[in-house]
């Protein structure tokens, strides 16, 4: 019977019922605890905010199963030698798709000028059709691909860009320039790595068409804040931002008061205990049967 250590104390109330139920449904007889001698632990269910930072004593542990999609706060831990998986949660994916589609349609249809119209201006200008509004998604992993599928179903022409070469996607610096130059709506869903930090700098923001809209539900560090503020006075029509370098966003940050910035408080997507518990249970089942783990992190790439 494997011993599972749930090493994310603040999240335990959400998973207290969901995780044992998911493990049982996966056909696994296991003991799930919040404290245990390290040498007895087979699996660690983890969040980077956990007080557990030294993995050296966990010599029996077969895998560390991260509850968050982002793993940038743990991949550099030199004591972590066990396999690490990241969370790809169907519930999180659904939430991200809904946020991205909702805000894409908001900007595509120009909803703000009708919802907030203090001058009672009658402007019968119709927006273009979706097929006439090019969208670019930076980052074509599970989340980016799901968002692309949903937007294409609405007839938006979607261009995807990835850091590494993938069939049917742009990649590399030349591909990035091409992807940005065509994007009337730009969606950023890349992981945070040293290579993606400030990927959207002044030079790259200047490649976007006049009036382009940026949606960032990915990572706050993907965009250079100062460069974005300058670009909003030049060629960027609006930025809707869900993630930030410092969270909560400081009250004196200029994003709060800029007329063409929308701040949402990191709500685009969240790990859902019921669906995430099933992902964790499936990986434990795989570990017990010798099958490859799902969503195994590539330490060299950082995700």
| Residues with a known catalytic role | 219, 266
In which residue are the tokens 């709060």 written?
256
* Residue of 288, 254, 266, 301 whose CA lies nearest to 63: 288
The stretches of the chain forming alpha helices (DSSP H) are 12-15, 18-25, 90-109, 112-115, 142-153, 172-181, 202-205, 225-232, 273-289
For residues 276 and 292, give the distance between their C-alpha atoms in angstroms, rounded to a whole number.
18
Q: Is 159 exposed, middle or buried (0-12, 13-18, 19+ CB in 10 A)?
A: buried
In which residue are the tokens 């009658």 written?
122
* Residue of 170, 162, 233 whose CA lies nearest to 191: 162
């Amino acid at each position: 019977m494997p011993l599972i250590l749930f090493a994310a104390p603040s999240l335990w109330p959400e998973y207290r019922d969901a995780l044992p139920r998911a493990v049982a449904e996966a056909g696994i007889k296991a003991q799930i605890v919040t404290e245990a001698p390290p040498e007895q632990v087979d699996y660690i269910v983890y969040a980077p905010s956990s007080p557990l930072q030294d993995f050296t004593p966990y010599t029996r542990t077969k895998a560390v199963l991260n509850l968050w999609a982002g793993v940038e706060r743990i991949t550099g831990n030199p004591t972590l030698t066990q396999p690490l998986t990241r969370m790809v949660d169907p519930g999180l994916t659904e939430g991200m798709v809904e946020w991205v589609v909702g805000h894409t349609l908001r900007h595509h249809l120009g909803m703000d000028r009708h919802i907030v119209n203090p001058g009672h201006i009658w402007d019968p200008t119709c927006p273009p059709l979706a097929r006439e509004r090019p969208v670019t998604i930076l980052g074509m992993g599970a989340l980016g691909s799901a968002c692309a599928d949903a937007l294409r179903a609405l007839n938006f022409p979607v261009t995807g860009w990835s850091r590494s070469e993938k069939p049917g996607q742009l990649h590399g610096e030349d591909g990035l320039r091409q992807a940005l130059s065509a994007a009337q709506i730009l969606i950023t869903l890349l992981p945070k790595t040293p290579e993606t930090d400030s990927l959207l700098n002044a030079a790259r923001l200047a490649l976007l068409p006049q009036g382009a809209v940026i949606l960032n539900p990915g990572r706050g560090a993907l965009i250079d804040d100062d460069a974005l503020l300058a670009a909003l006075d030049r060629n960027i029509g609006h930025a809707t931002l869900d993630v930030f370098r410092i969270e909560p966003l400081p009250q004196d940050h200029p994003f709060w008061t800029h007329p063409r910035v929308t701040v949402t408080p990191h709500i685009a997507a969240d790990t859902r205990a019921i669906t995430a518990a099933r992902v964790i249970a499936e990986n434990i089942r795989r570990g017990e049967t010798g099958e490859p783990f799902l969503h195994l992190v590539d330490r060299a790439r950082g995700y």
